[in-house]
């Protein structure tokens, strides 16, 4: 009985030497057996995938989705904090510029006050020096006039004597004085 089954199978898909005739997968006698095992394997794969693999993949996807959502929320929060920090920085910068402007204005006012005081002192010293110089110039003019008068009198007396004339001191003095007045 066992030999009949082997002989029948041998005749259809396998030769007497036990070698396959053509492709064993395409042997019409073996197709029902192959379909049975195909369906059994597909059912096993379906149950493994639906009960074990797909729930795990779904959990990983849900976890990733939650992580992404949390990361986006954290990024939005950090973005808001960055905007607030930038606003605070800009306000601090504006305050610092205003404070610097105020300090510069105070420094300019203080320097101007000191400059005005020093200018007043310098003007006073210049006025004092000018008054002293004018006084010295007036003394020099007066002494120069006297020196010129004396020199003019002596020169006039010598000129008159050199020309052969005779002039008294009173007439020479009156002539020099008249000429110096204008």
CA–CA gap between residue 97 and residue 89 (Å, rounded) = 12
Chain segment 103-146, per-residue pLDDT in tens = 999 999 999 999 999 999 999 999 999 999 999 898 888 888 78
Residue 3 pLDDT level (bands cut at 50, 70, 90): low
- Would you say 153 and 177 are in contact if contact means Cβ atoms under 8 Å apart? no
Q: What is the maximum alpha-carbon separation in the chain?
A: 196
Split into its structural domains, the chain has a count of 1
Residue 3, class by beta-carbon neighbours within 10 Å (0-12 exposed, 13-18 middle, 19+ buried)? exposed
CA–CA gap between residue 127 and residue 150 (Å, rounded) = 34
Chain segment 25-43, per-residue pLDDT in tens = 788 888 888 899 999 999 9
- Would you say 172 and 153 are in contact if contact means Cβ atoms under 8 Å apart? yes
Please give the pLDDT value at position 65: 94
Please give the pLDDT value at position 1: 46
User: Domain limits at 20?
Assistant: 2-181
φ/ψ region of 52 (left if φ > 0, alpha if ψ in -120 to 50, else beta) reads: alpha
């Amino acid at each position: 009985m066992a030999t009949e089954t082997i002989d029948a199978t041998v005749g259809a898909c396998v030769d007497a030497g036990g070698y396959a005739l053509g492709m064993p997968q395409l042997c019409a006698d073996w197709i029902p057996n192959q379909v049975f095992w195909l369906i059994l394997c597909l059912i096993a794969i379906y149950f493994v995938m639906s009960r074990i693999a797909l729930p795990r993949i779904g959990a990983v996807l849900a976890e990733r989705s939650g992580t992404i959502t949390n990361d986006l929320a954290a990024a939005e929060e950090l973005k808001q904090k960055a905007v607030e920090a930038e606003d605070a920085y800009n306000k601090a910068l504006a305050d610092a510029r205003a404070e610097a402007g105020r300090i510069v204005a105070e420094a300019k006012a203080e320097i101007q006050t000191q400059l005005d005081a020093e200018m007043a002192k310098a003007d006073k010293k210049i006025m004092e020096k000018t008054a002293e110089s004018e006084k010295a110039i007036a003394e020099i003019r007066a002494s120069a006039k006297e020196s010129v008068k004396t020199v003019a009198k002596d020169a006039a007396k010598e000129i008159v004597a050199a020309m052969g004339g005779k002039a008294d001191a009173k007439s020479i003095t009156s002539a020099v004085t008249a000429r110096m007045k204008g």
